[in-house]
Amino acid sequence: MNPFKGRHFQRDIILWAVRWYCKYGISYRELQEM
């Protein structure tokens, strides 16, 4: 079973975003402001 099936983004982008969130703990809104 592929957990990324049906997602709008590529697997690498999803993993990058999760790592970034866990490392820096910033919200999507804060990221947009950057």
| 8-24 tens-digit pLDDT | 778 888 888 888 888 87
The pTM assigned to this predicted structure is: 0.47
| pLDDT the model gives residue 32 | 77
In terms of DSSP H, where are the helices of 1-34?
A: 11-24, 28-33
Inside any domain, residue 2: no
Range of the domain at 12: 8-34
Q: How confident is the model at residue 2 (pLDDT cuts 50, 70, 90)?
A: confident
Q: How confident is the model at residue 34 (pLDDT cuts 50, 70, 90)?
A: low
Q: Look at the chain and report how many structural domains it folds into.
A: 1
Q: What is the mean pLDDT of residues 2-7?
A: 73
| pLDDT the model gives residue 5 | 74
Inside any domain, residue 3: no
Inside any domain, residue 27: yes
Inside any domain, residue 1: no
Amino acid identity for residue 21 in this structure? Y
